Chain A
Amino acid sequence: MTTCDDKAGSGDAGTGPSRHWLLAYPGAMLLVFFLGPFSIMLAVSFFHRVEGAFYEPGFELANYARFFSQLFVQHLGFSLYIAVLVAVVSVCVALPFTYLLSRLRIRTQTLWLVFLLSVLSLSEVIIAFSWSLLLSRTAGISNVLVWMGLMENAVSWTPGFTAAFLGFFYLTLPYAVLMLYPSVSRLERELTEAAQTLGASPLRAFFSIAVPVLRMPILGALILVFVFTLGVYLIPQILGRPEHWTLSVLITDQAIYQSNLPFAAALAVFLLLTSLALIALTLAIGRRRVLAS
């Protein structure tokens, strides 16, 4: 581990040891409050695995071994399923949207970005609550359909899979747009314009030029939205049913309501490693892109 009194820095500007002092405070904060909790969590998940697995029956037994339990497999399965589904749908909508957005005037773009950031920063509680209203029987969208004569009676569409999916999609769409925005807005405009000059329709220029050029950023965005979806916590609880619980809900449930910290810690370590591996993959993709250009 690197510490703050390390003199091996290859600085080429500034003099004296004062530059090392600059990092004392941020270094201490991150080591104590970021690595600290993570190390303790890791220890808890391992410690009990050895101790509990041999001595205590019931809840305390469950750690890494419990990964093979039906409870875990079911929630993991649903988490992966919804994360893949949401990532694909979000990126498929976000890509053309971001492409069109990045071609608007800067002022209009800024307005959209303000709106997207506002939606993105909204608490999951607020989003889930808003959607539960929108899909409710008394205040929801089915009233509009009844009023238009398309439906007989107003109905409630929440909770259920569709409601949960809409919530997920709503939450991840602005995220997907902002993940795609840097690379899409840097796409050489000349490329698609050249294609159009040569007779391609704007739609064709998008699919035959923009999409292939952007395939690596698209892959990166898919992975990041996937990881983001794994972290969603309240949407499945408010808009879904217990079978729609994701891994994040399971971890909290185990930690707080089942008082099974070791199992929760083991689950969190699993989620951590999975996410880290995926993020590393995204960074590797990004690096290859930089090298290629």
Chain B
Amino acid sequence: MSRMLRNVFLGAVGLFLCAPLVVVVGVSLNAEKRLFFPPEGLSLRWYGDMVTQSAWRDPIENSLVIALCAGLISVSIALPLAYAMWRHRLFYARVLYGLGIAPFMLPPVITALGFMIFWASLGHYGRLENDIIAHGIFLVTLPLMTISLGLESTDRAMVEAARTMGANERKVFTTVILPMIRPYIISGYAFAFVLSLNEYIIAYMVAGFTVETLPIKIFNSLRYGYTPVMAAVAVAFVAVALLVFGIIGRYGNLPRLLGRWSPERQ
């Protein structure tokens, strides 16, 4: 009885979360251009339009470039910071860590407006690299948290052992630490990548009128009414997220990454 109740509840939440996605998949397969569900005749032509029409392909390229580079910036800041805090326990590393955690916790409109004014006062408005840096800073929280988590579960005795056997700091990092925290670095990068891809308001305020990213493109075309390509793009977004997090779930320890203690530590 209680088991059935449990499944009904979980199923209801799952259904609620799935419902809008199902409709989007449905209308994206519509052979007709008008909005209708369930689809009247199946067709994949809107997916084709998505990658062949330059109106859609350019934003896709912008979004991908921004997300790939922003993820790199996030990780490049997070890795030395998390490592310095774990290895050397410097006071100001803690302060910087707090700075790194902050942007993502705050409403994104604050970061958006801050960067908009920042670039405007530098006279460097509307460039692609503005988006990259803004996303890189905004999302630094994610690799910072995953890498710190990875370091926390690393045995400090291994570092001591390597030092005793004559390895210098650099060698300790590259041969002992790096291989052990690699999955956490990759997860952090993946989180930042997916979130950058989906980010709207920062990209819009920082360079929205000159650099069109995919979410901006969708919102702009929503104003002029519905086209099925929007649904196809939405499906592609869902697919990318499922793929990336699916890979992390398959090869990493997702429950642990999200805060559940691993069984051996309980």
Tell me the A residues contacting B by CB distance below 8 Å. Answer: 2-4, 6, 8-15, 18-20, 22-23, 25-27, 29-31, 33-38, 40-41, 44, 93, 96-97, 100-102, 106, 109-111, 113-119, 121-127, 129-131, 133-134, 136, 138-141, 143, 170, 173-174, 178, 181-183, 185-186, 201-203, 224, 227-228, 230-231, 233-234, 238, 247-248, 251-252, 255-256, 261, 264-265, 268, 271-272, 275-276, 279
Q: Which residues of A contact B20 (CB under 8 A)?
A: 127, 130-131, 133-134, 170
A139 and B90 form a contact (CB under 8 A): no
B245 and A118 form a contact (CB under 8 A): yes
Name A28's closest neighbour in chain B (CB-CB): B77
* Nearest CB of A to B1, in Å: 9
A231 and B115 form a contact (CB under 8 A): no
Would you call B174 an interface residue if the criterion is a C-beta within 8 Å of the partner chain's C-beta atoms?
Answer: no
Name B260's closest neighbour in chain A (CB-CB): A185
B77 and A26 form a contact (CB under 8 A): yes
The residue that B118 contacts in the complex, of A37, A124, A275, with Cβ under 8 A, is A37
Question: Which residues of chain B in 1-32 are interfacial with respect to chain A, using CB atoms and an 8 Å cutoff?
Answer: 2, 6, 9-10, 13-14, 16-17, 19-21, 23-24, 26-27
A201 to B96, CA, bound (A): 48
B109 and A182 form a contact (CB under 8 A): no
Which among B20, B88, B89, B249 has the highest number of chain A CB atoms within 10 Å?
A: B20
Would you call B68 an interface residue if the criterion is a C-beta within 8 Å of the partner chain's C-beta atoms?
Answer: no
A185 to B26, CA, bound (A): 36
B113 and A185 form a contact (CB under 8 A): no
A14 and B88 form a contact (CB under 8 A): yes
Would you call B121 an interface residue if the criterion is a C-beta within 8 Å of the partner chain's C-beta atoms?
Answer: yes
Of the candidate stretches B45-53, B176-184, B195-203, the one touching chain A is B195-203
Q: Which residues of A contact B92 (CB under 8 A)?
A: 2-4, 6, 9, 23, 27
B99 and A185 form a contact (CB under 8 A): no
Name B92's closest neighbour in chain A (CB-CB): A2
Would you call B167 an interface residue if the criterion is a C-beta within 8 Å of the partner chain's C-beta atoms?
Answer: no
Identify the 3 closest CB pairs spanning chains A and B, nearest first.
A182-B259, A231-B107, A37-B114
Instruction: Count how many pairs of residues, one from A and one from B, have CB atoms less than 8 Å apart in the complex.
Output: 291
The residue that A41 contacts in the complex, of B35, B114, B134, B260, with Cβ under 8 A, is B114
Task: Beyond the given A34-B99, A125-B200, please list 15 additional residue pairs across the A-B interface where CB-CB is below 8 A.
Answer: A23-B92, A25-B80, A26-B78, A37-B115, A40-B118, A93-B13, A96-B9, A97-B9, A115-B242, A138-B34, A181-B258, A224-B105, A256-B205, A268-B110, A275-B110
A233 and B245 form a contact (CB under 8 A): no
Q: Which residues of B contact A35 (CB under 8 A)?
A: 99
B249 and A268 form a contact (CB under 8 A): no
A131 to B191, CA, bound (A): 24
- Given A100-B9, A114-B254, A138-B34, do A121 and B112 touch, yes or no (CB 8 Å)? no
A252 and B112 form a contact (CB under 8 A): yes
The secondary-structure label for the interface of chain B is helix
A121 and B194 form a contact (CB under 8 A): yes
A25 to B113, CA, bound (A): 24
Name B263's closest neighbour in chain A (CB-CB): A106
Tell me the B residues contacting A by CB distance below 8 Å. Answer: 2, 6, 9-10, 13-14, 16-17, 19-21, 23-24, 26-27, 34-37, 73, 76-78, 80-81, 83-84, 87-93, 95-96, 99-100, 102-103, 105-118, 121, 133-134, 136-137, 140, 159, 169, 191, 194-195, 197-201, 204-205, 214-215, 218-219, 222, 230-231, 234, 237-238, 241-242, 245-246, 248-249, 254-255, 258-261
A12 to B255, CA, bound (A): 32
B17 and A170 form a contact (CB under 8 A): yes
- Given A40-B121, A275-B105, do A174 and B17 touch, yes or no (CB 8 Å)? yes
Q: Which residues of A contact B136 (CB under 8 A)?
A: 33
A247 to B113, CA, bound (A): 13
The residue that B109 contacts in the complex, of A93, A185, A248, with Cβ under 8 A, is A248
The residue that A271 contacts in the complex, of B6, B73, B110, B218, with Cβ under 8 A, is B110
* Nearest CB of A to B101, in Å: 9
- Given A22-B80, A25-B76, do A33 and B137 touch, yes or no (CB 8 Å)? yes
Pick 5 A–B contacts, CB within 8 A, sort by A. A11-B90, A37-B117, A121-B198, A181-B260, A227-B107
- Given A113-B249, A203-B2, do A130 and B21 touch, yes or no (CB 8 Å)? yes
Q: Which residues of B contact A30 (CB under 8 A)?
A: 77, 96, 99-100, 137, 140
- Given A126-B234, A227-B105, do A113 and B255 touch, yes or no (CB 8 Å)? yes
A255 and B116 form a contact (CB under 8 A): yes
- Given A37-B111, A102-B260, A255-B113, do A126 and B13 touch, yes or no (CB 8 Å)? no
A173 and B103 form a contact (CB under 8 A): no
Q: Which residues of B contact A231 (CB under 8 A)?
A: 106-109
B259 and A181 form a contact (CB under 8 A): yes
